[in-house]
Chains A and B, each alone.
Chain A
Amino acid sequence: MSQDKDIPLAELRRAQPRFSGFEAGHRACLGCGEALAARLVTESAGPDVVYANATGCLEVFTTAWPESAWRVPWMHSLFANAAAIGAGMEAALKAQGRSTRVIAMGGDGGTFDIGFQALSGMLERGHNVLYVCYDNEAYMNTGIQRSSSTPHAAVTTTSPAGRERMGKRHLKKDIVSIVAAHHIPYAATASVAYPADLRKKVRRALAIDGPTFLHVHTPCPLGWGHDSALTIEIARLAVQTGLFPVIELERGGVAGVMPIREQRPVSDYLRLQNRFRHLFADDVRAREELEHLQALADHNIERYGLRPGHEADPLDTEGADTVKRGGVR
C-alpha cells in the first residue's frame, strides 16, 4: 500500500468498489479461518460501525503498533470485557443520538469462557449490539489450550491424548442455546465455508434493534493441525457431518436451519485434522470416541431437523442425554 501513502484515507475508501473495514497485510497464519470471517463480517456490516474486540488472535494479528489492518473505528480493551465495552459504546452512541452500530467480537475463549459473564449481562440488558464469536475451538493465541468450546476428544496442549486420556474429556459448550435463552431477538450460527449465508446473517442481525449474536465456525490450521489449503473444506465438512449445525434462532426458537443434503460420516471431517489423529489408532477407546462424536452429530441433525424435508421439534432435547458422554470409562 506504500504507493497510496499520500492519498487521504477517506478518498481511498470512496474509491473502493466494495467497502472493506479489514485490510490485507495483517499477520494471520496462512489459511486462517478467523481472518477470512472477520473480513466478511466487516464487509457486510459497512462503514458505520464501531468495533469492540476481545484479546485474542484477531486483535494481535491485526494490530501491531504502529500498524493496523482496521479501516473502521476499533478498540481492544481486555480479554473478558468485549461485550461490556460494546455495551458502553452503544449506551454512549444512544445518548448522543447517533445511529452508528456496534459490533463486539471475540474468539471462543473470550466468548464461551472468560468473557461469558459480560456477554450474558450485555444480552440481558438488551443493548443494541451484535456480538460475533469467531470459534476456532481452543486458545490458539496462547498456544492451543482447551476452551469450553473445544470439541469432545480433541487434542490440545492442555488436553493431550495419552495412556490415560483421549483428548478433551468434556463436551463442547452449546453457546448458541445459552445465548438464545436470554430471549434475544436473533442468534445464529454460521460457517466461514458458506460466505453468502454469513453475509446475510450479519446484515440480518444489524437490521434488528436489540442484542444479536453470531457464532462463526472458523478452522485454525495451526491449532487443528490441517493443511492450510483445506480451511474451507474442513469448515464445510463440520457442517455436512452435523457436528456444527448452521441455524437461526429468534427469541429462543429455531427460525431457520441450513439442511444437510447428504450427511457425511464424522470420520471424513476428523481424519483431516491432527487434533483427532489419536481417534484413528487401533484402539477400542478410539473407536468408542468416534462413536460418541458420530452420536453427537446425529443428535444435532435430529434436534434441529437438518435433513431436507425433515421437520423436528428443535426444542425437544430428548436424546441429548442418551449421547454417550465422557472419554475414558
Chain B
Amino acid sequence: MRQALEGSQAIARAVSLCKPQVVSAYPITPQTHIVENLSRLVADGELECELVSVESEFSAASVALGAVAAGSRAYTASSSQGILLMAEVLFNIAGLRMPLVLTCANRAVSAPLSIWNDQQDSMAVRDAGWIQLYCADNQEAVDTTIQAFRIAEQCELPVMVCVDGFTLTHTLEVLEMPEPEQVDAFLPPFRFARRLDPDKPLSVGTLVSPEYFTETRHDHHQALRDATDIIVQAQQEWLTISGRDSGGLLRQSGPADARTAILTLGSIAGTLEEAMEAHGTGAPARLIVLRAFRPFPDQALRDACQGLERLIVLERALSPGAGGIVGSEVRAALSALDRPPRVFNFAVGLGGRDVPLEIYPRLLDAVDAGRGSDFDILDLDPSKLPAEDA
C-alpha cells in the first residue's frame, strides 16, 4: 500500500510484518521513534511480541541475544553511543552466530556531543562480524529490514540495517508498504537449530583454547564471505514478490560510459541521484551505491569499476589519523585490478552537516582542483578553525 510515512514509522511497520517475538531497546535519539512505533503497535494489538524496555543498550543487545538463543525471532535498534555501549555484546552475538536484526539509526559519536547524523557509529563496529547493509532511502529501509531477517536466519549471522538518522528516520516519504502476505511468502517462521532446549541440551559460548580459536574465526569470516550470495538472492526474491529493487550488494546509476564515478553509501546516494538527474544523460560522473559494507563486496566493486579513470569515494565517517574508512577498503579492493581507477576520498556531512544538491558539482570541482587524492573533508570551513590550524 502506498503511504506517506516517517522513516521510523515505516521501519517499525516493516519490523512488525516480520513478526518478531521479542523486541528489546533503550531510548536514544534518533532511534527512539522506531521503538515508540513498535510499542504503539503492541499496545494496539497489531503486533504480538514481548517488548522489553531495558535499562541500557548493553542489556538491549543482551536480551535480544538471549531471546534468539532460546529460539525466538528478536529485534533491537540503536544509535551512536548506544551502539558503542553495546559493542561488546555485538561482537559476542556475531561470534555466537546468532541471527538477529538491529536497525542502526546512524548518528555521530561523542565527543563533542552531536545528536545528528553521520556514520561513525556503525563504522566503529564494522569488525564485529555483523552483516552491515546501508539504506539510501526509506523504501530501501523497509525492504532491507524484511530481507535482513531472512538473510540473518539463513546465514546464522546478525544483520545491522543502517539508516541515516534524521535524514531518513525523521523524514516523511511516500513509499510502498508491503502486504503481510508478501512478507509471509518471503520470510518463513524462525526455526533455530541451535535453540537452547532441555530435550537436546547444548553448551553455547564455551571457552575456546588457542587450539581451536583460529578455526572458529575462519568459519565466521567464511560465513560472512558466503553471505554475499545470500544477500543477492534475498534481494532478487524480494524483487520478484514486491517489484522493488533494493540494490543487492551495490547498485549503479547514471551514464554507463562516464569515466568518473562517485561511490557512496546511505542517504547521500539519493541527494547525488537527484543532482545527477539535472544533468540528464550528460552527467559527468556515474554513481555507485554501496549497500553491503560487510561482507565487503570486493568482486562486485571491481566489476563495477572496470574501465573507470577516477573513482570518488564519499563517506560520512573517518578514522582520525588515517582518513577515510570506506575509501581505504575501496582502494585495497581495487588494487587487484590491472588498471585500477585513481581513487579520491572525501568525508562529508559529519555530525549532521547538511549535504545539499550542490555537493555533486562541488565534489567534481574539488577533484579537478587536486583535492581528495589522499583524503580530505569536503565541506570543511577553514574560517571556523582556530587561527593556528587554518
Taking Cβ atoms with an 8 Å cutoff, the residues of A that contact B are 9-10, 47-50, 52, 59-60, 63-66, 68, 70-78, 80-81, 83-96, 100, 117-118, 120-122, 124-125
Bound Cα distance A57, B207 (Å): 11
B204 touches A76 (CB 8 A): yes
Q: Is B50 an interface residue (CB 8 A)?
A: yes
Nearest CB of A to B180, in Å:
19
A95 touches B49 (CB 8 A): yes
Bound Cα distance A113, B322 (Å): 37
Q: Which residue of B lies closest to A52 (CB)?
A: B66
For B21, B54, B63, B67, the residue with the greatest tally of chain A CB atoms inside 10 Å of its CB is B63
Q: Is B243 an interface residue (CB 8 A)?
A: no
Q: Is B183 an interface residue (CB 8 A)?
A: no
Which of chain A's residues have a CB closer than 8 A to the CB of B200?
Answer: 73
Bound Cα distance A100, B88 (Å): 28
Which of chain A's residues have a CB closer than 8 A to the CB of B65?
Answer: 77, 81, 85, 88
Taking Cβ atoms with an 8 Å cutoff, the residues of B that contact A are 21-22, 24, 49-50, 52-56, 58-59, 62-72, 74, 88-89, 92, 96, 196-209, 212
Nearest CB of B to A99, in Å:
10
Which of chain B's residues have a CB closer than 8 A to the CB of A95?
Answer: 21-22, 49-50, 67, 72
Nearest CB of B to A206, in Å:
14
Q: With A50-B196, A72-B198, A120-B55 known to touch, is A91 a contact of B206 (CB < 8 Å)? A: no
Nearest CB of A to B54, in Å:
6
A72 touches B201 (CB 8 A): yes
Q: A121 touches which one: B56, B67, B92, B199 (CB < 8 A)?
A: B56
Minimum-distance CB pairs A-B, first 5:
A88-B66, A121-B55, A84-B62, A63-B206, A92-B72
Bound Cα distance A93, B55 (Å): 21
A77 touches B198 (CB 8 A): no
B207 touches A59 (CB 8 A): yes
B209 touches A64 (CB 8 A): yes
Which of chain A's residues have a CB closer than 8 A to the CB of B88?
Answer: 78, 80
Q: B198 touches which one: A50, A59, A86, A120 (CB < 8 A)?
A: A50
Which of chain B's residues have a CB closer than 8 A to the CB of A81?
Answer: 58-59, 62, 65, 89
Which of chain A's residues have a CB closer than 8 A to the CB of B56?
Answer: 117-118, 121
Q: With A75-B205, A88-B62 known to touch, is A94 a contact of B50 (CB < 8 Å)? A: yes
Which of chain A's residues have a CB closer than 8 A to the CB of B67?
Answer: 88-89, 91-92, 95
Bound Cα distance A125, B56 (Å): 13
Which of chain A's residues have a CB closer than 8 A to the CB of B66?
Answer: 52, 75, 77, 84-92
A87 touches B59 (CB 8 A): yes
Known: A63-B203, A121-B54. 15 other contacts (CB 8 A): A52-B66, A65-B206, A71-B201, A74-B196, A75-B196, A75-B203, A78-B62, A84-B54, A88-B63, A88-B65, A89-B66, A91-B22, A92-B70, A96-B72, A118-B58
A73 touches B196 (CB 8 A): yes
B22 touches A65 (CB 8 A): no
For A63, A86, A91, the residue with the greatest tally of chain B CB atoms inside 10 Å of its CB is A91
